[in-house]
Amino acid sequence: MKISIIGVGLIGGSIALKLKKKGIVDFIYGIDNNNEHLSEALNLKIIDAKVNLEYGIKNSDLVILAIPVDAARKLLPDVLDLISENQTVMDAGSTKSGIVNAVKNHPKRSRFVAFHPMWGTENSGPASAVSESFSGKAGVICNKEQSDKDALNLVEKIVESLDMHLIYMNAEDHDVHTAYISHISHITSYALANTVLEKEREEETIFQLASSGFSSTVRLAKSHPEMWVPIFKQNKENVLDVLNEHIFQLKKFKAALEKENFEYLEELILNANKIRGILDKK
Amino acid sequence: MKISIIGVGLIGGSIALKLKKKGIVDFIYGIDNNNEHLSEALNLKIIDAKVNLEYGIKNSDLVILAIPVDAARKLLPDVLDLISENQTVMDAGSTKSGIVNAVKNHPKRSRFVAFHPMWGTENSGPASAVSESFSGKAGVICNKEQSDKDALNLVEKIVESLDMHLIYMNAEDHDVHTAYISHISHITSYALANTVLEKEREEETIFQLASSGFSSTVRLAKSHPEMWVPIFKQNKENVLDVLNEHIFQLKKFKAALEKENFEYLEELILNANKIRGILDKK
């Protein structure tokens, strides 16, 4: 099988490495606006050839979009225009309603499968790609009833080859859940970094004292705006809902401290501790 | 050298393991209100004997307090009452003004060295102790001018044996900096866990979708209230300052989203990205 990967960054690159390792693809065309990334991906043997969009699409059984969600939503209709009825297109974006709505009336909608691998890091670019990135993580396919059965089966095979566990979900539900489980973590992390940068003027002290706890909480604050602004934009309503709740929850801690109500503070912490039971099921 | 460790949990246990490994101590007396922890620590060879407070103190060159900060502040004057002029006491608490003030007029104040190892995990108890926990982390000694030179030298030797890099700081400054760099991360994490638990009623979905990003941001939310309520209590003013700033920073993200001011959102994220430069110096 020959595939094209549009966007040879962290996600596209990691998918490429894994599919090659599994021997499920014979040849990978790389397509990217960033020519440096393309050359890097070629050097790293992530892709087998740098090509333009038309050439790559024409010669591939499967086209994978792994670019920021706003760019993917814009590009997908053009990609569908270019494919034939026996080719398949999938994406890997973190929001799903936008892209699904963008092609809902496209005559070749059924050749598209909406996909989101629940994995990422604060790094970007092909040099950050790792073949085992997705192993054991959730791979979500949205609105599967809108895809042709053979297209769906192909993408299912890809997700299994990534060693992910498959979940099916409605695009709207997906965007609500990811607002809670992924998007809000990023906002919290960004805001925490800004808090520390604003108030702790002594950079040297941050550097010297930063513990593993701090590092893990602000790790996501290193994530690039090129990826995250479009996600927040497309999932604005859900993210705002969760952000409002999060501010409300922080105000409970503030009130407990201000009123020196340490029983209430303990209650809030004990409630938060319940997350252990849920996460440790893993 | 013989030492007593009061509190054979995560921190006390990890200190014990490392000092034994380094060969700097010959015998460790374990003292703990929790008899199960004591037996566990003995079985794990973290300590060499379970003893009571008086016996341990009487027979040790160095006494290390590794209990919650409120308990340490209460117990330290009693421990100082019991020691002779050639014994040394150190603590390992996350707040320093409280404990330093509690003994500032004690006749044996100069035998005490206020210490804080900048390391911890969301786990607790002797079974969580690991000998290499502290390696490469910051070890802060506060108000060193209030300690006798030989007591200070002994604790410096201990900190070096833990493979930590030594920092000297004023207790008040310490409490301001740790509010930014450690305490606020915990509140953020707790509030984030409560947000998700409140709004995401489908626990199974959290469990299935939870990505590494989410797990790292809420990791600290697993931390126990027995340790953290006393820290927030003792560092209330500083923690409230930082918490107010953090809520203010979150509101900037909220405003940017509500007004669909995505240039501003990008600016906020780019500013947060600066944390990478500071953390990656490490």
pLDDT of A41 reads 97
Q: Is the pLDDT confidence value at B203 over 80? A: no
Contacts of B233 in chain A (CB under 8 A): 260, 262, 265
Tokens for A85, please give them.
């009825």
Q: Tell if the CB–CB gap between B119 and A211 is shorter than 8 Å.
A: yes
Contacts of A253 in chain B (CB under 8 A): 187, 190-191, 243
pLDDT of A123 reads 84
**For A272, which of B202, B221, B262 is closest by C-beta distance?**
B221
Segments making up each domain of chain B, as ranges: 2-169, 174-279
Beta bridge partners, B2, equal B27
Work out the mean pLDDT of chain B and round it to a whole number: 94
Quick one: angle between helices B236-258 and B184-199, nearest 10? 50
Mean pLDDT score, B232-241: 97
pLDDT of A281 reads 63
**For A229, which of B252, B269, B275 is closest by C-beta distance?**
B269
Superfamily holding B174-279: 6-phosphogluconate dehydrogenase C-terminal like domain (1.10.3660.10)
Domain spanning A2-169: CATH 3.40.50.720 = yes
d(CA A69, CA A36): 21
Instruction: For residue range B124-150, list pLDDT tens digits in order.
Output: 899 999 999 899 999 999 999 999 999
Closest among B55, B58, B140 to B91, alpha carbons compared:
B140
Q: Is the pLDDT confidence value at A282 over 60? A: no
d(CA B147, CA B109): 7
d(CA A182, CA B243): 22
Contacts of B86 (CB under 8 A, 6+ apart): none
Q: Tell if the CB–CB gap between B269 and A219 is shorter than 8 Å.
A: no
pLDDT of B281 reads 63
Instruction: For residue range B85-100, list pLDDT tens digits in order.
Output: 999 999 999 999 999 9
H helices within chain A, ranges in order? 10-21, 35-43, 53-58, 69-82, 97-102, 149-161, 171-178, 184-199, 203-209, 212-218, 225-234, 236-258, 262-279
Work out the mean pLDDT of chain A and round it to a whole number: 94
Q: Is the pLDDT confidence value at A211 over 80? A: no
pLDDT of A119 reads 86
Q: Is A99 exposed, middle or buried (0-12, 13-18, 19+ CB in 10 A)?
A: buried
N-to-C CA span, chain A: 34
Instruction: For residue range A93-108, list pLDDT tens digits in order.
Output: 999 999 999 999 999 9
